Structure 1
């Protein structure tokens, strides 16, 4: 049987779960760069100035926004999953609502961060 993922309609809970895994990968991928930037910024005033200058560029700001979304989504979806493990919000209707809430709240946090960055 041919499996065409573009034609399979996933419920919002499935997308939230998939995005939870993707956000975890983004968080893991960003840790070395963030650790390096922290180390450089604390090493000397010149290192701090270099990191601050790098954060002024648009590509780095977009990466910071992606990492912000990943952090917000992973945290919120993780809490949602933990609550569903203890049967809080495990019903179909409340699970759909909480999935939408997680997705929209992570987007809202990212938009707030974008407003602060630009």
Structure 2
């Protein structure tokens, strides 16, 4: 007697319009995507980073202007928006750094198990967001 073959699983490509809203990405996938996004954000905002560095160390007058930009704004850009951009840079740097250390650790120790990948991804996400909240509270003058 011949057995009926089980239907084989159907693999298909993910449709960006219909499937992305229901697709559940694992934490390691989120860390990977956010690692790339944070690197892109830091690259795009490099002129702002250079301006902040230059204005903060050039002279006492430029440092006063730098502080005033964060408090009252710069031209038509309000100060709260400059603080939000700085907060985005803080998150981007922290996430990129922590995720980079995670990747280096996994490469150096050959820790490539599924469980370690999930755990280290969750630690990366929690540390990045937690440190961003702490430094953001300092940036916005909550302590």
For normalisation by structure 2, the TM-score amounts to 0.75
Any unmatched runs of 5+ in structure 2?
1-12, 72-78
- Per the alignment, residue 72 of structure 1 pairs with 94
The count of aligned residue pairs is 118
Correspondent of 1:39 among 45, 54, 57 = 54
Q: Deviation of residue 46 (structure 1)?
A: 2.6
Report if the CA contact (8 A) 1:89-1:98 is conserved.
Answer: no
Question: Against the structure 1 CA distance between its residues 7 and 115, is the aligned structure 2 distance closer, same or farther, given a 3 Å change threshold?
Answer: same
Q: Which has the higher helix share?
A: 1
- Per the alignment, residue 21 of structure 1 pairs with 36
- Higher relative contact order structure (alpha carbons within 8 Å, sequence separation ≥ 6): 1
Any unmatched runs of 5+ in structure 1?
none
Report if the CA contact (8 A) 2:14-2:20 is conserved.
Answer: no
How does 1:1-118 map onto structure 2 within 5 Å?
3=15, 4-56=19-71, 57-117=79-139, 118=141
Counterpart CA distance in 2 for 1:17 and 1:76 is 11
For normalisation by structure 1, the TM-score amounts to 0.89
Question: Against the structure 1 CA distance between its residues 28 and 2, is the aligned structure 2 distance closer, same or farther, given a 3 Å change threshold?
Answer: closer
RMSD, aligned α-carbons: 1.7
Counterpart CA distance in 2 for 1:97 and 1:27 is 26
Structure having the higher Rg: 2
